[in-house]
């Protein structure tokens, strides 16, 4: 557990020297070794027992204006050491490891934990990275100075559920029913003219020469899924060689978009990853699940076992915000054991459908942009990574979606 506590302190404070001045102990003989001490609330003594952890929860508690789940809202001076009983370390672990999802069993129809169930959603902190705010607070208490964070990045990510609009017989029949004859004719002559692939090109052009903006395209490779949720997807192997070569040449990272079926049958993960390796001719180490449907510890451990190092599913489909309580990539921590993984979770802050779909937030573009700018402000302040998800199909079907993303890039 010492390694885990050390990682959490370093993640919170970012600076090793500053982190060493924060103790996490109830041993009063050790207090003099630190400028700030956080008294443990007992959470790490019972990680394997979610019911016991649940009994320690204080969901309405605040300390110095910050919500904290464990301990008490008391603090006191012990000689030159500030002793804080609000257990920010355990609360950070609860959020970063998604321990909360071990306690609350309720899920939506896709097996997803929703924002309305989350403590951050209920206490009004989902749109602010609380764990990063803890670090800022502790840094100020240790050094007497407000920290200044830099290195913020905007990461535009794109799930290519349908890399092209016209590939299968079903796609072509749909085009005939809609009477989309002009775009069908352009595509049949050259698949590089397909509207969904054209949207990929438009998205790839957004970064320009901005060094602090990057992109990741997630390609769908499943070919034998029988899940209804996968039925509209176009596997990578269905595209022409010309489109495949253009995809390979995009100035962006390429990851694998695991199917909905793979979330139910983990043995499919490796085959979908290997298909991406084979077709793209390069190692693939980044991933995201279709429908944002899986963030269970067992799913993440399986991904780690097949070579995934960076995972981008950690967001909510129903609301924008910081599901992990941070705007920075963080190592996955197995919630019931505290095992530190080499798999990094990249928090997803916003998705096009979350903002626009009436089932979720149902916002117009002006209000959606305001939400994105507020997220940007938080991420810039904390020197984090603003990950947003825009589908090529949404961009192709609505020019305003591309414009909205352009406005975010320009504001960055």
Of 82, 110, 143, which one is at a domain's C-terminal end?
143
One domain for residues 161 and 121: no
DSSP string for residues in 370-409: HHHHHHHHHHHHHT-EEEEE--HHHHHH-HHHHHHHHHHH
**How many domains is the chain partitioned into structurally?**
2
Q: What is the pLDDT of residues 128-179, one digit of tens each?
A: 999 999 999 999 999 999 999 999 999 999 999 999 988 887 888 888 888 8
DSSP string for residues in 202-229: HHHGGGTT-TTEEEEEEEE--SS---GG
Q: What is the pLDDT of residues 90-128, one digit of tens each?
A: 999 999 999 999 999 999 999 999 999 999 999 999 999
Residue 12 lies in a domain: yes
Residue 365 lies in a domain: yes
Residue 189 lies in a domain: no
One domain for residues 123 and 255: no
- Tell me which of 7-11, 200-204, 260-264 is least confident: 260-264
Residue 184 lies in a domain: no
One domain for residues 161 and 102: no
Give me the mean pLDDT over the 317-336 stretch. 98
Quick one: pLDDT at residue 253? 97
Residue 380 lies in a domain: yes
Residue 20 lies in a domain: yes
One domain for residues 328 and 366: yes
Residue 172 lies in a domain: no
Give me the mean pLDDT over the 243-252 stretch. 95
Please give the residue range of the domain that contains residue 343.
153-165+194-411
One domain for residues 228 and 353: yes
One domain for residues 30 and 120: yes
One domain for residues 101 and 161: no
Q: What is the pLDDT of residues 175-214, one digit of tens each?
A: 888 888 888 888 888 899 999 999 999 999 999 889 999 9
Give me the mean pLDDT over the 262-281 stretch. 92
The pLDDT mean for the chain works out to 95
One domain for residues 383 and 261: yes
The structure's pTM equals 0.95
One domain for residues 247 and 340: yes
Q: How confident is the model at residue 360 (pLDDT cuts 50, 70, 90)?
A: very high
CATH number of the domain residue 341 falls in: 3.20.20.370
- Sorted by sequence, the CB contacts under 8 Å of residue 405 that are 6+ apart come out as 156, 203, 206, 388, 390, 395
Quick one: pLDDT at residue 379? 98
One domain for residues 249 and 372: yes
One domain for residues 128 and 202: no
Residue 176 lies in a domain: no
One domain for residues 258 and 332: yes
């Amino acid at each position: 557990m010492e390694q885990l506590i050390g990682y959490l302190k370093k993640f919170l404070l970012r600076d090793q020297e500053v982190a060493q001045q924060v103790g996490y102990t109830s041993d009063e003989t050790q207090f003099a070794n630190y400028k700030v001490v956080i008294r443990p609330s007992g959470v790490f003594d019972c990680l394997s027992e979610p019911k016991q952890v649940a009994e320690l929860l204080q969901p309405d508690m605040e300390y110095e204006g910050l919500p904290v789940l464990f301990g008490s809202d008391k603090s006191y001076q012990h000689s030159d050491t500030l002793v804080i009983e609000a257990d920010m370390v355990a609360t950070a672990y609860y959020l970063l490891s998604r321990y909360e999802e071990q306690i609350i069993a309720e899920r939506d129809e896709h097996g997803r934990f929703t924002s309305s169930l989350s403590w951050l959603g209920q206490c009004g902190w989902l749109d602010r990275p609380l764990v990063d705010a803890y670090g800022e607070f502790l840094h100020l208490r240790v050094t007497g100075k407000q920290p200044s964070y830099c290195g913020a990045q905007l990461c535009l990510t794109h799930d290519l559920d349908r890399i092209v609009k016209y590939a299968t017989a079903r796609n072509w029949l749909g085009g005939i029913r809609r009477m989309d004859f002009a775009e069908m004719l352009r595509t049949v002559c050259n698949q590089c003219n397909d509207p969904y692939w054209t949207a990929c090109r438009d998205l790839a052009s957004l970064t320009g020469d901005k060094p602090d903006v990057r992109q990741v395209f997630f390609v769908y490779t499943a070919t034998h899924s029988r899940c209804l949720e996968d039925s509209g997807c176009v596997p990578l192997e269905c595209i022409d060689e010309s489109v495949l070569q253009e995809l390979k040449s995009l100035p962006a990272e390429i990851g694998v978009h695991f199917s909905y079926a793979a979330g139910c049958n983990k043995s499919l993960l490796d085959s979908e990853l290997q298909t991406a390796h084979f077709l793209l001719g390069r190692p693939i180490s980044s991933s995201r699940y279709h429908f944002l449907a899986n963030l269970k510890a067992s799913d993440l451990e399986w991904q780690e076992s097949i070579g995934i190092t960076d995972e981008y599913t950690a967001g909510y489909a129903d609301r924008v915000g910081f599901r992990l309580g941070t705007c920075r990539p963080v190592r996955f921590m197995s919630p019931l054991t505290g095992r530190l993984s080499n798999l990094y979770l990249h928090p997803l802050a916003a998705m096009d459908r979350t903002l626009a779909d009436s089932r979720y937030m149902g916002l117009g573009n002006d209000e959606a942009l305001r939400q994105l700018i507020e997220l940007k402000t938080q991420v810039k302040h904390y020197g984090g990574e603003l990950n947003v998800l825009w589908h090529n199909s949404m961009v192709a079907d609505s020019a305003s979606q591309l414009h909205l993303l352009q406005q975010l890039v320009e504001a960055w």
